[in-house]
Amino acid sequence: MAGNFILKSITQSDFLVATRFPNISWSQSTAHKKGDLINPNSPNGPRFKGWAPETRKVLSHALSNKNIGNREELPPHRYLMIKSWNILSNGEQEYIKGAGWVESLEYPESEGLGLKALQHSAKLKWGMKRKDEALIEMLKVGGVSIEVYYQSGLEMY
């Protein structure tokens, strides 16, 4: 599963504040966990490597818009999931408008990363470096998932 955006790292305090809202949640499991099957339908198939020098390099390449081929070599990550704008309460909408971590969102367009495409108005806002407005535009068309690789600087497991 690919996210809409990447948030390379989230602080513990930002994580705790965000997930106190009922319509903002943390994925239950870690994606690309070491040893998990890449294709669950192939019991003897290749497995994710977890955090390793080569997966760190793939993440670095993806974040710097270099071609990574495919997502299979990304390191473990989780998702911050936000329900669509019309479902969010006024308090949740105000939180999203002012959350400091929003300015750290990334949307690399590296080949093989496969982030979900930005909706037209979100792409315009992103191009103008209005990350908060781009996020809101995406939320107006549906829920958003944000890939997170580090929590308070520690690798996600």
5 to 53, 63, 149: CA distances (angstroms): 23, 11, 12
50 to 34, 38, 125, 140: CA distances (angstroms): 4, 11, 34, 34
Question: Looking at this protein, which amino acid is placed at residue 58?
Answer: V
Give pLDDT tens digits for 58-80. 999 999 999 999 999 999 999 99
Cα Rg, the chain, nearest whole Å:
16
Give pLDDT tens digits for 89-117. 999 999 999 999 999 999 999 999 999 99
* CA angle (94, 95, 101) in 5-degree steps: 135
Give pLDDT tens digits for 10-57. 999 999 999 999 999 999 999 999 999 999 898 888 999 999 999 999
Q: Answer whether 119's CB lies under 8 Å from 75's CB.
A: no
Question: Which residue carries 């339908």 as its tokens?
Answer: 41
pTM: 0.94
What lies within 8 Å, CB to CB, of 34 at 6+ separation is 47, 48, 49, 50, 51, 76
On average, the pLDDT of the chain sits at 96
| Structure-block tokens of residue 108 | 């690399």
